[in-house]
Amino acid sequence: MSLLGKKILSLGNPSGQRPKSKVVHKTFDEAPSIGILFSWEDKQQEQTIQDFIRQLGDEKSVSCLCFNPDKRTVPDTSLPVFHMGQLTLLGKIDSPETNQFLQEPFDYLFHLDFELNDIMRSFLSRSKAHYRVGFHSEEGEKFYDLMIGINKNAGLHNFASQILKYVNALR
């Protein structure tokens, strides 16, 4: 993405952080809608995410959005994918699926990456989700309501398990 595109993308939220939700969050058991946001890596990662979705339960309505950071690779996935070609020079998102995902008032939004990039920062700050959960980092304090601290080497499966452990403990 060009420097101009990054600047324009960040104009939607000049403070660099998301506005705090005024909605009282629901416990995870009461929450019917879940969003999952992640960056594409490989088919094994997608399988781990599909397993995580199954663990959430059938009573949850789960929507996913995958960001493909590599223009040269087309992810082999049935999930909706946002790629850099869908970002205009003026920083607008030219993807109905992505815009719909960002406007959805999820009860919980799980960001399943270990790193925050410019696109994910923008998505997290624009999202209408009531409660955002992600990987613990100094920078993450601006974007998440709950951060999970785990060694990155433990992998995505363990990270997802820790997310479920802690959101189920929230009251």
Q: Is the pLDDT of residue 42 over 60?
A: yes
CA–CA distance, 166 with 156 (Å, rounded to integer): 15
**Which amino acid is located at 153 in the chain?**
N
Q: Is the pLDDT of residue 32 over 60?
A: yes
Supply the pTM of this predicted model: 0.85
CA–CA distance, 112 with 157 (Å, rounded to integer): 10
Looking at per-residue pLDDT, the higher value among 72 and 109 belongs to 109
Domain ranges of the chain: 3-9+28-169
**Mean pLDDT confidence for 89-98:** 86
Question: % helix / strand / coil in the chain, to the nearest 5?
Answer: 40, 20, 40
Pair 71, 83: CB distance under 8 Å: yes
CA–CA distance, 141 with 153 (Å, rounded to integer): 22
Report residue 133's pLDDT band, with 50, 70 and 90 as the boundaries: very high
pLDDT of residue 55: 94
CATH superfamily placement of domain 3-9+28-169: Glycogen Phosphorylase B; (3.40.50.2000)
**Mean pLDDT confidence for 49-74:** 90
Paired residues of 164 in beta bridges? none
Pair 67, 52: CB distance under 8 Å: no
- Per DSSP (E only), the strands in 5-158 are 33-39, 61-68, 81-83, 108-111, 132-135, 146-148
pLDDT of residue 73: 79
Pairing of strands 81-83, 108-111: unpaired
pLDDT of residue 150: 92
Torsion of CA 119, 68, 107, 51, to 10 degrees: -150
- Write the pLDDT tens digit of every residue in 4-26: 455 555 555 545 555 555 555 68
pLDDT of residue 18: 54
Average pLDDT, rounded, for the chain: 86
Q: Is the pLDDT of residue 144 over 60?
A: yes
What percent of the chain is predicted at pLDDT more than 70?
85
